[in-house]
Chain A
Amino acid sequence: MSTNNIPTLELRSLEVAYTVRGIDRSVLRGVSFAIAPGEAYGLVGESGCGKSTAAFAAMRYLPRNGKITGGEIFFEGKNIVDIDEEDVAQLRRSAISMVYQNPSTALNPTIRIGKQIAEVFELNGVSSSDAMMMAEQALTRVQIADPARVLRRYAHQLSGGMAQRVVIAMALASNPRLLVMDEPTTGLDATVEAEVLDLVRELRRDTGTAVLFISHNLGVIRNMCDRVGVLYAGALVEQGATSDLFSNPSHPYTVGLLRCIPRGGLHKSTDRLDTIPGTPPALGLKFDGCVFVARCALADDKCRTQLPQMVTINVAHVARCFHSDKASSLPRSVEQIEYAPQVTGHSTKVGDALLNISHLSKVFTQDGHKVRVINDVSLTLGVGETLGLVGESGSGKTTIAKLLLGLTPPEEGGVVTLDGKGLAKTLNRRDVADVGAMQIVFQNPDQALNRRHSVTRIVGRAVERLRKFSLANAIARAHELLSGMRVDASLHSVRPVQLSGGLKQRVAISRAFAGAPQLVVCDEPTSALDVSVQAAILNLLVDLQKQDKTSFIFISHDLGVVRYISDRIAVLYLGRVVEFGTSQRVFNGPFHPYTEALLSSVPNIDGSTRKRIPLTGSVPSPSNPPSGCVLNPRCPRKAGSGYETLCETEEPNLNEVEPGHFMRCHIPMAKLKQLQS
Chain B
Amino acid sequence: MTDETSKQTKQTELSERLALLKKNKAFIIGASILAFWVFSAIFGKLVARYDQDFADYESISSSPSLKYWFGTDSSGRDVYSRVIIGSRIIIVISFLATLLGAFIGASLGLAAGYLKGRFDMVLMRILEAISAIPVIIIALLAVAAIGRASSIITILIIGLIFTPNVARTVRAAVLGESELEYVAAAKLRTEKTAHILFREVLPNVLPTLIVEFTVRLGYAIFAVATLSFLGAGLEAGSPDWGTQVADTWSLIFSKIWWPTLFPSLAIASVAVSINLISDALLEVFEL
Contact = CB atoms under 8 A, between A and B. Distances in A.
Nearest to B286: A21
Contacts of A252: none
Contacts of B184: 407, 440, 442, 448
A499 B191 CA distance: 25
Interface stretch (B12-20, B71-79, B117-125, B209-217): B12-20
A427 B180 CA distance: 17
A427 B187 contact: yes
Nearest to A402: B184
B181 A22 contact: no
Contacts, number: 97
Contacts of B1: 278, 488
The 8 closest A-B pairs by CB, nearest first: A452-B203, A278-B2, A498-B10, A448-B181, A21-B16, A282-B9, A465-B189, A450-B182
A266 B58 CA distance: 100
A515 interface: yes
Interface string A286-322: 0000000011000000000000000000000000000
12 contacts: A21-B20, A22-B16, A279-B2, A279-B6, A281-B2, A282-B6, A439-B188, A450-B204, A461-B189, A498-B6, A498-B7, A500-B3
A670 interface: no
Interface in A444-461: 444, 447-453, 461
Given A278-B2, A295-B2, A449-B182, A22 B10 contact: no
A503 B4 CA distance: 12
Interface residues of B, number: 31
A111 interface: no
A513 to B, nearest CB: 12
A339 to B, nearest CB: 18
A494 B188 contact: no
Contacts of B191: 465
Contacts of A295: 2
A21 B21 CA distance: 10
B190 interface: yes
Given A432-B190, A435-B189, A490 B10 contact: no
B41 to A, nearest CB: 32
Contacts of A515: 189
Contacts of A21: 13, 16-17, 19-20
Nearest to A444: B181
A169 interface: no
Nearest to B8: A282
Nearest to A462: B189
B3 A488 contact: yes
A447 B190 contact: no
B5 interface: yes
Contact of B190 (A450, A451, A465, A500): A465
A448 B204 CA distance: 13
B96 to A, nearest CB: 27
Interface in A488-530: 488, 490-491, 494, 497-500, 503, 511, 514-515
Contacts of B16: 21-23
